[in-house]
C-alpha cells in the first residue's frame, strides 16, 4: 500500500531539500578547489607569459609548501605560524632556483627548458624523500576552524574549507592590485608585452624575472600550505597539481590571470561534480572541458598578456 498523500508530500519535500543541499556542497567544494588551483595556475601562467619559460617544476613548489606546512606545524603546533615561516622559505627557494638554474634558459629553446625543469622535479622529489621519507602525512586543522556549518539535519560543511576559499580570494585580490595598481605590476605587464622595449626603457629585466619567478613559487607554495589540512601530504603531490594547472593555463590562455581564474573555476566545478555524479569518468570530464574550450577558442578564453 502506498504511503498517504500527506506523507508522500513530506518525503518529496525532504528529498528535494537533500538534493539542493547536495548540489550546494558540491558547488562549494568545486569553488574551493578552483580557488586553490587558481593560485597555482596564476603563478604558472605569469612565469610563462612574462618569462617565456615552460616550468615543469612549478608543481614542486606546491609540494614544498605542503611539506613545510606539515614539518613546521609539527614543530610549532600552529598552522598559521608554519605558513608565516614557510612562505618566505618557499619564496627564497624560488628566487635561488631562478638565479642558479632558470636564468640560464632565457636564450635557450623550449626543449632545453623542459629538460632542465624536469630535472628539477627529480631533484626536489629526491630531496623530499631524504628529508621526510615516503610516508603519507596529515596536518591538523586549527581548533577554531575545525567546526562545521549545519546545512540540513544530516549535512554540514567544514568551516576550514570556507576559510580556504576566503584566504584564496584575499590573495587573488592582492594579486590583482599588484598586477594593475603597482609599479612592479606595471613593469611585469610591460615585460610581458615587449621585453626588449621594456629593457630599453631602463627596466632591469633580470631582477624582474627573478621577482616574477619567486612570486609564482610563493603562490604555489601557499596553496600547498593551506590545502595540507584537507589533503594528504605525500610524495608526488606536486606532479598531480602540475598536470591540472597546465590544463587550466591552456583553457584560460597563456599569460592571462583572468583566464587562469576562469579555467580554475571550470575545472574545480567539473572535478567536484564529476567525482560525485560520474566517478568512473571524472578525469574524462576534466579533460573534456579543456577539449571543448580549445575547439571553441584554440588560444584559450583570455589568451594574451597578464590581465
pLDDT given at position 236: 86
pTM: 0.86
| CA–CA dist 275, 290 (Å, integer) | 17
Q: pLDDT tens string for the chain (307 positions)?
A: 455 544 444 434 434 445 777 788 888 888 889 999 998 998 888 888 777 788 889 999 999 999 999 999 999 988 999 999 999 999 999 999 999 988 888 777 878 888 999 999 999 999 999 999 899 998 888 888 888 887 666 677 788 888 988 998 898 888 888 888 888 778 877 776 667 777 777 777 788 888 889 999 999 999 999 999 988 899 989 888 998 998 998 898 887 888 889 999 999 999 888 888 888 888 888 888 888 888 888 888 886 544 5
pLDDT given at position 4: 53
Contacts of 71 (CB under 8 A, 6+ apart): 82, 131, 132
Cβ contact 85:65 at 8 Å = no
Task: Convert the chain into a string of H (helix), E (strand) and C (coil).
Answer: CCCCHHHHHHHHHHHHHHHHHHHHHHHHHHHHHHHHHHHHHHHHHHHHHHHCCCCCCHHHHHHHHHHHHHHHHHHHCCHHHHHHHHHHHHHHHHHHHHHHCHHHCCCCCHHHHHHHHHHHHHHHHHHHHHHHCCCCECCCCCHHHCCEEECCCCCEEEHHHHHHHHHHHHHHHHHHHHHHHCHHHHHHHHHHHCHHHHHHCCCCHHHHHHHHHHHHHHHHHHHHHHHCCCCCECCCHHHHHHHHHHHHHHHHCCCCHHHHHHHHHHHHHHHHHHHHHCHHHHHHHHHHHHHHHHHHCCCCCCCCCCC
Q: At 158, which helix (H) or strand (E)?
A: strand 156-158
The number of residues in the chain equals 307
CA 298 to chain centre: 23
Q: What is the CATH number of domain 20-136+157-296?
A: 1.10.3470
| CA–CA dist 49, 41 (Å, integer) | 12
pLDDT given at position 153: 67
Q: At 124, which helix (H) or strand (E)?
A: helix 110-132
Contacts of 40 (CB under 8 A, 6+ apart): 58, 59, 62, 219, 220, 223, 241, 245
Contacts of 164 (CB under 8 A, 6+ apart): 32, 35, 36, 226, 227, 230
Alpha helices (H) along 47-109: 58-76, 79-100
pLDDT given at position 224: 93
pLDDT given at position 307: 54
pLDDT given at position 10: 47
| CA–CA dist 98, 217 (Å, integer) | 10
- Three cell numbers written together for 177: 592590485
pLDDT digits (tens, 9 = 90+) for 43-90: 888 888 777 788 889 999 999 999 999 999 999 988 999 999 999 999
Amino acid at each position: 500500500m502506498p504511503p498517504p498523500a500527506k506523507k508522500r508530500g513530506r518525503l518529496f519535500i525532504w528529498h528535494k531539500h537533500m538534493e539542493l543541499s547536495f548540489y550546494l556542497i558540491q558547488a562549494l567544494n568545486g569553488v574551493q578547489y578552483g580557488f586553490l588551483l587558481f593560485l597555482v595556475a596564476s603563478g604558472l601562467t605569469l612565469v610563462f607569459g612574462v618569462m617565456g619559460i615552460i616550468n615543469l617544476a612549478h608543481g614542486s613548489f606546491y609540494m614544498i609548501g605542503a611539506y613545510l606546512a606539515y614539518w613546521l606545524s609539527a614543530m610549532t603546533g600552529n598552522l598559521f605560524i608554519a605558513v608565516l615561516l614557510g612562505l618566505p622559505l618557499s619564496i627564497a627557494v624560488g628566487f635561488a632556483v631562478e638565479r642558479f638554474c632558470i636564468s640560464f634558459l632565457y636564450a635557450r629553446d623550449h626543449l632545453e627548458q623542459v629538460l632542465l625543469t624536469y630535472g628539477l622535479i627529480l631533484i626536489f622529489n629526491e630531496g623530499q624523500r631524504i628529508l621526510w621519507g615516503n610516508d603519507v602525512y596529515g596536518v591538523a586543522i586549527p581548533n577554531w576552524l575545525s567546526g562545521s556549518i549545519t546545512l540540513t539535519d544530516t549535512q554540514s560543511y567544514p568551516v576550514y574549507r570556507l576559510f580556504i576559499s576566503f584566504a584564496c580570494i584575499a590573495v587573488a585580490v592582492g594579486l590583482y592590485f599588484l598586477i594593475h595598481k603597482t609599479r612592479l605590476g606595471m613593469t611585469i605587464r610591460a615585460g610581458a608585452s615587449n621585453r626588449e622595449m621594456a629593457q630599453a626603457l631602463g627596466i632591469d629585466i633580470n631582477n624582474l624575472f627573478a621577482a616574477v619567478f619567486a612570486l609564482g613559487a610563493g603562490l604555489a607554495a601557499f596553496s600547498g600550505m593551506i590545502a595540507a589540512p584537507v589533503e594528504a601530504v605525500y610524495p608526488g603531490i606536486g606532479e598531480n597539481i602540475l598536470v591540472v594547472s597546465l590544463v587550466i593555463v591552456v583553457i584560460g590562455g597563456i599569460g592571462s590571470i583572468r583566464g587562469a581564474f576562469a579555467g580554475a573555476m571550470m575545472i574545480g566545478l567539473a572535478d567536484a561534480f564529476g567525482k560525485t555524479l560520474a566517478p568512473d569518468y571524472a578525469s574524462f570530464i576534466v579533460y573534456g572541458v579543456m577539449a571543448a574550450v580549445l575547439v571553441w577558442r584554440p588560444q584559450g578564453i583570455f589568451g594574451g598578456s597578464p590581465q
